[in-house]
Every structure is written in C-alpha cells, then in structure tokens.
Amino acid sequence: MKIRLLLGSVLNANFRLIKLRQRQATKPLPASIKNKISKINKMNKWSKSSKKIRLTIILTSIIAILSSFSIWVTTFAYGVGDNTLLIILLFPILIISAILVIANSRFGVFMTLLTSLAYIYVLTNDVGYFLVFDFYNSVLLLVLLLPYLAFLTLIPLTSIYLTKNIKQNRIFNIAAIILAIGIFIYAIADRQSKNYVGNIFIDATISGHGEIELKCKPHFGDSRTFVITTKSKELEEQIKQYGEYYQGSYFLNTTISKQYNFANLKSITIKKIDDHKLTSELTWEKDDLKGETDFLRPY
C-alpha cells in the first residue's frame, strides 16, 4: 500500500512538472529577447549568404584572370597604344585582389570592383568592335568577350557583398545590375553611328573641263580600288597644291573619316591631304563609291 502511494505521488509530481513546462513553453517571450533572436537569425542568414557571394566572386575572378591572361601577354609584348601601361598594371592587381578575397578581406572585394571597372573602361571599345564586325571569331570570343562578361558580372556581385549591411542596399544592388547591363548595351549601341579615321591612297586625275576622278586604294601597290567622280574647284586647287604630280596624275596620301551604321558603310569624308587639313571637307555617300570598298572596314 505504501509503495502504491509513493508511486502515485511520484507520477503526480511528474505530471505537474510537465504541465509547468508546457505553460512556460507557451508563455510569450519578452520583446527584447525576440529582437535579439531575430537579429541573430538575420546575422546567420547574412553570414551564409555572404559566403556564397564571396565564393561566386572568387570563381568569377578566377575566370577573369585565366581568360584575360592572353590580353596581358599580348599587351606586354606588343603594346596597345595609350592603354598599354594600364593593362600591364591591372592584371597583377586583379590577381592580388583575388588572393585578398580568398583571405576573406573586404578590401580585396573593393579592389576587385575597381579593377573590374578599369578593365571594362579599357575593353569596351574593342568588345563593341568585336560584336559588330568580328562576332564569328571564336578566338576573340574566349580571350575578349569572356573576360569582359566576367568583369561585368563582378560589378553587381561585389556591390551586393560590400553593401550587405547598408539599409538601402537593394537600391545599390539594382543600380549595379543596371550599370553592368547598360555598359554592355552601350558597347553595341555606340556603333549605331560611328566615325572611324583611316588613311587611303588616291590617284587623282583632272580633266580639261574640271571633272575630277579619284581612284582610291588602301595603298599605292594595291589592286583593290573604288572610284569617285566629282567636280569641285576648291578640291582641284588643293590637289594641285598638295598632290605629287606624275604622268598626268596626282598622288595623294589622304586621311579620311568613314561613317558606319553598325557594320554598314554610310559615307566617307576626306579630311586631310598628307598633313594639310582641307579648308572644306568633302563627303560622299556609299552609293557614290564605284568599286570595291571592303578594305574601308575599320580594324
């Protein structure tokens, strides 16, 4: 009998304890504790998201490094005009920034953003030419377009990582995405109506009644030719003044401006004869050029 009473009291005590715990579990937590728990959950969520973004930045940077290596080697060996020094310096900076990102350095992410913007500034003109005139070149697809797309991708990725703790981060992130897409669109749209400066050789003859025939070639010994026939007293005077006369013809080394609508030639304008700028530039439409004009395509 005593044993039964003892077991009953123990069971009753356990039942009360369970009831008490259930009441405590259902009892609402204070607001301060809820806020702390919410902040901790957000921090954990951001931490996981940051790791994924950083990993994506690292992988994209590696793609950019590998695909832009040939640009750096070519620039180092031959140069590319005014941007030679900039490209030579950007490649090692890109490697250093990637190493810093791997080491979980926020400054490395910032360096990656700046380096990507600098690369985009340097490559946009060449990428625009490639997309319009040379899109079927599979080599340039890998060594020019691929790194360019990698650098464009790094803009929103680094922006998301750097602005994760800012309240208006969504605005910055949307702006970064729009910027990256806008730059790519600009690279193509810039070719919609663009002038390219080049040089051609002209064999000019002037008839007795003032008609001028201009035989235009890439250079003196080339057989590719188109012909322009025109009448201009001012052009006649400048041809006689600046041209080299030989057996009834005037040889002219001229600087011209070629206007293209994307890949279609619209017109050409003679701007200089040798180093002498024309007082009145002369322009001819594509239909006025009789012969082969493919060599006018910009390179």
Residue 54 lies in a domain: yes
272 with 253, same domain? yes
157 with 175, same domain? yes
182 with 234, same domain? no
171 with 249, same domain? no
245 with 156, same domain? no
142 with 258, same domain? no
Domain that holds residue 157: 46-189
Residue 172 lies in a domain: yes
Point out the domain boundary residue: 134, 169, 189. Answer: 189
142 with 225, same domain? no
Residue 241 lies in a domain: yes
Query: Do 204 and 249 meet the contact criterion of CB atoms below 8 Å apart?
Result: yes
Residue 10 lies in a domain: no
- Report residue 191 as tokens: 């070719």
161 with 286, same domain? no
Residue 12 lies in a domain: no
Query: Do 116 and 61 meet the contact criterion of CB atoms below 8 Å apart?
Result: no
Token look-up 């008839």 returns 207
Per-residue pLDDT, 9: 61
276 with 161, same domain? no
Token look-up 């998201």 returns 49
Give me the average pLDDT of each 10-residue run along the chain (299 residues): 52 58 55 54 64 94 96 90 91 96 94 97 94 90 95 96 87 95 96 93 90 94 92 88 90 94 94 85 91 91
Residue 162 lies in a domain: yes
Per-residue pLDDT, 136: 87
62 with 116, same domain? yes
Residues in CB range of 210: below 8 A, 6 or more apart: 231, 233, 236
Point out the domain boundary residue: 158, 189, 220. Answer: 189
Q: Strand, coil or helix: what is 46?
A: helix
Query: Do 161 and 57 meet the contact criterion of CB atoms below 8 Å apart?
Result: yes
Find, among 100, 110, 69, the residue nearest to 87 by Cα: 69
Residues in CB range of 230: below 8 A, 6 or more apart: 211, 212, 214, 282, 284
Point out the domain boundary residue: 189, 220, 247. Answer: 189
- Give the number of other CB atoms < 10 A from CB of residue 26: 7
Measured CA to CA, the distance from residue 167 to residue 109 in angstroms comes to 20
Residue 134 lies in a domain: yes
Per-residue pLDDT, 114: 97
Per-residue pLDDT, 21: 59
Measured CA to CA, the distance from residue 72 to residue 87 in angstroms comes to 6
117 with 240, same domain? no
pTM over 0.85: no
Give the side-chain half-sphere CA count within 13 A for 268: 26
Measured CA to CA, the distance from residue 31 to residue 191 in angstroms comes to 60
SS (H, E, C) 114-175: HHHHHHHHHHHHHHHHHHHHCCCCHHHHHHHHHHHHHHHHHHHHHHHHHCCCCCCHHHHHHH
Residue 66 lies in a domain: yes
175 with 265, same domain? no
**Domains contained in the chain, number:** 2
Per-residue pLDDT, 19: 59
